[in-house]
Amino acid sequence: MARRLLLGCSAVGNTLVERTREERDEIAAISDDTGWVSTLRDRNIATIEADPTDPSVYPDNAAVVLVASDDPARNVAAAEAARRRYPDAMIVAHVGTNPTAAQQDAVAAVADRVVDPVAAIVDRVREATGLDGEERPARLLSTLRKLSGPLLVVAHDNPDPDAIASALGLARIAESVGVPADPCYGGEIAHQENRAMVNVLDLDLVTFDGIDLDDYDGIALVDHSRAGINDSLPEGYPVDVVIDHHPPRGPVAGSFVDIRPDIGSTSTLITEYLDRIGIEPTRELATALLYGIRIDTKDFTRLTAIPDFEAAASLSSRADESTLERVESPSVSPETLRVLASAIEARDVRGSTVASCAGEIADRDALAQAAERLLALDGITVTFVYGYMDGVIYGSARARGADLDIGELLRDALDPVGSAGGHATMAGAQVPLGILEEVSESESLPEVVEAFVSGRFFEALADAPTAPSGTVPEFPTD
């Protein structure tokens, strides 16, 4: 078993011990400060009262050495002695109080990691205030503080975990500066995992039904960027804040706009803001944000950037892993299995695209799950599964590794006769059945629906819009 050795002690050393004592590795300490020796022994840490710069009192083995007195000169001597005694060990050294430049250089020359609390605090303040050149957190807070009333944080319709978590996170940021905020969504939270996330974590969101926009002084969009496009706002409605990671298809307006297509999830951006502003998320919020990152990056295997890993690492210590397991493994309903079987049997494959009519359905969420599952078919990059219930045709589409924008494709195909839209890799549609229900005796409703919907879908596919690039156009205003 690896051994951790603490040389000298101080408030910083005490904190390092607290952070490492939960590890299974054994911890030993050497200090000639009687007070700290007593404190460490009271905490059941094997402690020798001796000079921490004297290698003759060091144990035979140490994999990690923590150098942590307040005296810079002694820390240099202890770090140098530890490096000679344990050439292969990792040495983490505190610079001490008011070290000279020469002492800082000496510690850095032998230590693998240097702990400088003063510099860390200065860096954190610079990040939060924008003095490091990254002004986004300060500008976001400034935009929020200018609101004279509540903020409505709008997720896209039928929100996924990334949109749900991002709405909750931005609402928390607004509340930190005294601005009441309501995270909301239109449509339904239909997917089984998404419902499980909201129910298990007891997340507090409101639906767009019954909302009076006149009650709010500000509007924020998360995980999408244009009012009235894939949300329940009127198209072109004035927006104050936009935070998204999808490349926009048209002009994006707002007092504050942060769109970063090189990032894997909007939850990553919200986590970055929480961290830089200094807001510690609740366990529920941290769990939701971590789940949002994992879902949108497909467990860090799709469109993942370094900030996604950093955000996940920041959240992992606060998130509830047991709750995540419950969210990620909900039971599959018989209706979902039935729709998936129908979609497989009725599939119409053309090149790398598959479209399938599942007929009459009882749960529209099953369409999204079937569309996701059909992407596993060999050579398939685009899927579209649709069915009808309560006088409406519902459709769900997915794209992976395809050079097209599935949201724009579905909008071109079905928006003229209903409503449709989404992102480059995920989209949905709703079309009233209308006169299609008046079928003749020689026809069946599923056949009529299939001929109508597939015809429009494959016709639009012949002139499919390409996926937006990973760069943000010049038009966003902020």
> pLDDT tens across 232-251, in order?
899 889 999 999 998 887 78
Q: Are residues 395 and 305 part of one domain?
A: no
Residue 52 counted as domain residue: yes
Residue 467 counted as domain residue: no
pTM for the full model? 0.59
Q: Are residues 285 and 140 part of one domain?
A: yes
Q: Are residues 285 and 206 part of one domain?
A: yes
Buried b / exposed e across 371-404, counting CB within 10 Å, b at 16+? bbbbbeeeebbbbbbbbbeeeebbbbbbbbebeb
Q: Are residues 208 and 162 part of one domain?
A: yes
**pLDDT tens digits, residue range 259-313?**
998 899 999 999 999 998 989 999 999 999 999 999 888 888 877 888 999 999 8
CATH label of the domain that carries residue 284: 3.90.1640.10
Treating both helix axes as pointing N-terminal to C-terminal, what angle do 321-328 and 192-201 enclose, rounded to 10 degrees? 150
Q: Are residues 246 and 232 part of one domain?
A: yes
The vertex-274 CA angle with 324 and 189, nearest 5°, equals 45
CATH label of the domain that carries residue 411: 3.10.310.30
Residue 381 counted as domain residue: yes
Residue 471 counted as domain residue: no
Question: Looking at residue 357, what is its pLDDT?
Answer: 95
Residue finishing a domain among 303, 328, 353:
328
CATH label of the domain that carries residue 88: 3.40.50.720
Count other C-beta atoms under 10 Å from residue 38's C-beta.
Answer: 13
Residue finishing a domain among 115, 149, 180:
115
Residue 177 counted as domain residue: yes
Domain that includes residue 355, residue range: 334-461
**pLDDT tens digits, residue range 105-160?**
999 898 888 887 766 555 555 555 544 445 789 899 999 999 999 999 999 988 88
Share the mean pLDDT of the chain: 85
DSSP 11-39: HHHHHHHHHHTTSSSEEEEEES-HHHHHH
Residue finishing a domain among 281, 306, 328:
328
Q: Are residues 344 and 323 part of one domain?
A: no
Helix (H) or strand (E) holding 326: helix 321-328
**pLDDT score of 183 more than 50:** yes
**pLDDT score of 321 more than 90:** no
Residue 238 counted as domain residue: yes
Q: Are residues 192 and 323 part of one domain?
A: yes
CA 228 to chain CA mean position, Å: 24
Q: Are residues 345 and 322 part of one domain?
A: no
List all residues 6 or more positions away from 423 whose beta carbon is below 8 Å from its beta carbon.
224, 230, 246, 406, 407
Residue 475 counted as domain residue: no
Q: Are residues 343 and 317 part of one domain?
A: no
Residue 205 counted as domain residue: yes
Q: Are residues 180 and 82 part of one domain?
A: no
**pLDDT score of 89 more than 90:** no
Q: Are residues 264 and 344 part of one domain?
A: no
> Average pLDDT of 324-347?
82
Question: Looking at residue 470, what is its pLDDT?
Answer: 53
Q: Are residues 210 and 70 part of one domain?
A: no
Contact of 128 with 277, CB cutoff 8 Å: yes
Q: Tell which residue, 108, 21, 101, 105, has the closest CA to residue 67.
A: 108
Domain tally, the chain: 3
